[in-house]
Amino acid sequence: MNEATSTPPFPRRLVRISDVAATASGTTPSRDQSRYWKPAEIPWVKTGEIHFAPIRRTEEAVSRIALDECSLPLLPPGTVLVAMYGQGKTRGQSAVLEIEATTNQACFAVLPTEAFAPEYLQYWFQFSYSTLRQSSEGRGGNQANLNSEILGNLEVPWVEREEQLRIAARLHAQLADAETVRRAAQAQRESAEALVAAIYREAFAQVVPVAVPPAFDEPPPGWQWRKLTDVARLESGHTPSRSRSDWWGGDVSWISLTEIRALDGQWVESTQLRTNAAGIANSAARILPRGTVCYSRTASVGFVVIMAKPMATSQDFANWVCGDALDPEFLMHALIRARKELRDLATGATHKTIYMPTLESFRVCAPDIDAQRRIVRGLKQRLEEASALRAALDAQQAELAKLPQRLLAQAFEN
């Protein structure tokens, strides 16, 4: 076999980390004792700084007094650190120190010895990331934790140090190449998003087609600005009492913020949350007709759908029932094209909201109804093509996300 592309099988020998390497963990010096932090002399590693990449600097440092009085270990370059707990994906991540430093109590340190090349050992921890996280579930109360016992008992395949260095060097090159490809794919995905924005700009003739006075773009030839309420009836929604279970689970679809992100830009056939005739009769909610354009105006501002059947909505929506001069799909896409600008109209300290007086002042720039429908047909075709491209790029990214673990598995599994 070509040694540049394959790894020879390991001898059947596994060694426990605690049997062949010195280990340590740190602590957090009291924040009330300024002498522990000033002068800042020794870099101090926190779990949030461990990201499967060499550690060359830290956000904070402690004094040499803290090192002495708080029993902090002084860790040399080449020490392998593993995050025992932390937020998000931090738990189980590992890194090699490239500087002299110390750590907090959430870091497990494996000090360099002749038994293991630091880079080899770190890649083994990286390979074991998912297993380590699973083994820590249910430990540490509300927060899953690893501990020094789990990590010290971890069994590592042992080969001669020279072979460890070859494996680590090969993985370094392979993972760097994988990251280069991943970044290129990410750039392609971002370009696909930019393509969608460009499609919308072209479809609407470079105009932001929904605005409030006095911020109007010059209308293209054959287009005109009109008050939206002159060409569509504005309706609000309401929520039947949540305390009345008999008003819920019926046959009336009810559009809410719970589902709006997933439904954005679509005709809605049905919803997960449903009310019934009694819920409608005993609230200010109204059943609105097919073709009603529903625009989320609070919290998740700017998402928009069209009712494919008669439905109701919560009070978090502005709903437009279009007249003969305005195509519902044209309005939906116009609102999507103007999303960024319209979100800037939202106000409020806790939840940003576009209030009804502002919604009543909306203007829409549009050509005649036949031209609107032609624009929508062309726009939908181009958006479908862009959606297919994005789906293909998403699938590519999903496969590339698995590549590092596959390379690690190729290196470490018999």
pLDDT band at 138 (very low <50, low <70, confident <90, very high): low
In a domain, 327, yes or no: yes
In a domain, 189, yes or no: no
pLDDT of residue 264: 96
Q: Are residues 34 and 97 in the same domain?
A: yes
pLDDT of residue 137: 66
Q: Is the pLDDT of residue 386 over 70?
A: yes
Q: The sheet that has 94-96: what strands, in order across it?
A: 23-25, 107-110, 80-83, 94-96
In a domain, 386, yes or no: no
Structure tokens at 242: 């949540």
Q: Are residues 234 and 370 in the same domain?
A: yes
In a domain, 46, yes or no: yes
Helix, strand, coil percent values for the chain (each to nearest 5):
40, 20, 40
pLDDT of residue 46: 94
- pLDDT for 326-338, tens place per residue? 999 999 999 999 9
Q: Are residues 358 and 271 in the same domain?
A: yes
Task: State the angle between helix axes of 328-337 and 369-412 in degrees (0 to 180), rounded to the nearest 10.
Answer: 50
313 has which bridge partners? 255
Q: Are residues 225 and 152 in the same domain?
A: no
Q: Quick one: 108 exposed, middle or buried, by C-beta within 10 A (0-12, 13-18, 19+)?
A: buried
Q: How many CA atoms lie within 13 A of 390 on its CB side?
A: 13
Q: Are residues 27 and 120 in the same domain?
A: yes
- pLDDT for 87-100, tens place per residue? 788 899 999 999 99
Q: Are residues 233 and 331 in the same domain?
A: yes
**Total domains, the chain:** 2
pLDDT of residue 6: 36
pLDDT of residue 349: 78
- CB-based contact 75:97 (threshold 8 Å): yes
Q: Which amino acid is at 170?
A: R
Please identify, among 94, 127, 158, the residue that sits at the C-terminal boundary of a domain: 158
pLDDT of residue 143: 57
Q: Which amino acid is at 269?
A: E
Parent domain of 277: 210-376
pLDDT band at 182 (very low <50, low <70, confident <90, very high): very high
The CATH code of the domain that includes 305 is 3.90.220.20
Separation of CA 40 from chain center: 35
Q: Are residues 218 and 321 in the same domain?
A: yes
Q: Are residues 89 and 232 in the same domain?
A: no
Q: Are residues 232 and 99 in the same domain?
A: no
pTM of the predicted structure, to 2 decimals = 0.71
Please state, rounded to an integer, the average pLDDT across all residues of the chain: 91
- CB-based contact 192:389 (threshold 8 Å): yes
Q: Are residues 234 and 143 in the same domain?
A: no
3-17, 160-174, 293-307, 347-361: which range is least confident on average? 3-17
In a domain, 105, yes or no: yes
Q: Is the pLDDT of residue 2 over 70?
A: no
pLDDT of residue 304: 97
3-state secondary structure of 72: coil
Percentage of the chain exceeding pLDDT 70: 95
Largest interatomic CA distance in the chain: 81
